[in-house]
Amino acid sequence: MSTAAQPEEPRAKIRFEYRPMTAAPSDLDRFRDCFARNGSPRSEAKVLWQYANNPTGKLYVDFAIDPARPDEIAGIYAVQPCFVRVGAEVRLGVQSVDTLVDERYRGQGLFVKMARAVYDRCARDGCALVYGFPNGNSAHGFFTKLDWKPLDPVPFLVRPLRSRYVTDRLFKGRAWAGALPNVPVPVIALAKGRAKIAPLERFDERTDRVWRDFSRSITLSVERDAKYLEWRLRQHWSGAYERLAYYDGDDVLGFVATAVFDKHGGRVAYVMELVYQPWRPDVGRALLAEALRRCAQQGADVALAWCLPHSPNRDAYTSQLFAPLPQRLWPLELHAGARSFDLPSWVAHGDRRSWYLSYCDSDTV
């Protein structure tokens, strides 16, 4: 948060006004102004993509307003709507993404009040659940005051692409660590036969078919259909994602998406998604190998992924030497959790084994 100015003393017994945010430019600007004022700026492109252009056509964001400062936002609670797979059914769901109480109004319970109001509106609209990845500052409120069930730990996997990024962190503070060489960690090359791996220009009925087959054993997940993936990976405000498909003639047997960013003191490759026909594990391994090779060519020091132990693509990650990232090496404190609004009794939403997660579910990458 910004430290440029000392926060004002909260005024006692403020009768805040609450209202939903609309997609009007004036409301989007006020949203951005509140985050910028509190040291966490949001780009116009990101806010438009995330809220105005969300493929569900829904908007669930609440503003808290101090009547004495009606042109400024005192607090924001925002969830991002999505469609979720619940067994064989597809339902509306939401992901908790943006939470902020202005420095001048903290300590007055705004976060919990706004969250409950948003959840009530979501439940009335038939939402199945809310899920998300609260940071260390907000996790306590979600789990103790908003009835979330924990899904910790976040399933970080790591795969070094150059040696020093990991050794510098493993041996931090050791005088001799700086003398270790920084050498490439080879990607295991795999034969593709007559098939080819090439850029994926768009998500369509072919990728829908792959996702349907891949997700048959999944109880809970964001529905990764073509409409969602087009928005999440091709129309993303950053334009950063590279998408590859495994082609057999005109057919698509699998796809992978990655991005490379300068973050966390290095050049980090993120495997956003890896989906393939479950009876063709060779497709998953080949896609991941090619994606890592391209990330290494872009100078990536390390690759990160989110993948639960039971996920259908876990073996592909294992084949390329991904391993669980020790919590002491995590780039930030992060938690995972969910709360049911209207899930069938047989769905154990607080059980990690019910879920499929990937970096596509992250709201920070």
CB of 217 within 8 A of CB of 345? no
Nearest to 161 by CA among 136, 140, 182: 182
Within 10 angstroms of residue 169's Cβ, the number of other Cβ atoms is 17
Q: Which amino acid is at 11?
A: R
Within 10 angstroms of residue 113's Cβ, the number of other Cβ atoms is 16
Look up residue 61 and give its two tokens: 């964001």
Radius of gyration of the chain from its Cα atoms, rounded to whole angstroms = 22
Residue 186 phi/psi, 5° resolution? -60, 145
Q: Could you tell me the maximum CA-CA distance found in the chain, to the nearest angstrom?
A: 72
Residue with tokens 């692409």: 161
Within 10 angstroms of residue 23's Cβ, the number of other Cβ atoms is 14
Return the SS3 of 143. helix
| Domains along the sequence of the chain with CATH | 17-127 (3.40.630.30), 156-332 (3.40.630.30)
CB of 111 within 8 A of CB of 138? yes
CA distance 202 to 208: 11
CB of 62 within 8 A of CB of 77? yes
CB of 297 within 8 A of CB of 260? no
**Is this prediction's pTM over 0.85?**
yes
CB contact set of 346 (below 8 Å; sequence gap of 6+)? none
pLDDT at 165: 82
Q: Looking at the DSSP assignment, which residues form a beta bridge with residue 273?
A: 257
Give average pLDDT by consecutive 10-residue segment, the chain, 365 residues.
43 83 94 95 95 95 94 94 96 96 91 96 97 94 96 96 79 64 79 80 98 97 98 95 96 97 93 97 95 96 97 97 92 94 94 97 94
CB of 245 within 8 A of CB of 198? yes
CB contact set of 156 (below 8 Å; sequence gap of 6+)? 304, 305, 306, 324, 325, 330
CA distance 58 to 28: 15
Nearest to 45 by CA among 238, 227, 232, 229: 238
Q: How many residues does this entry show for the chain?
A: 365
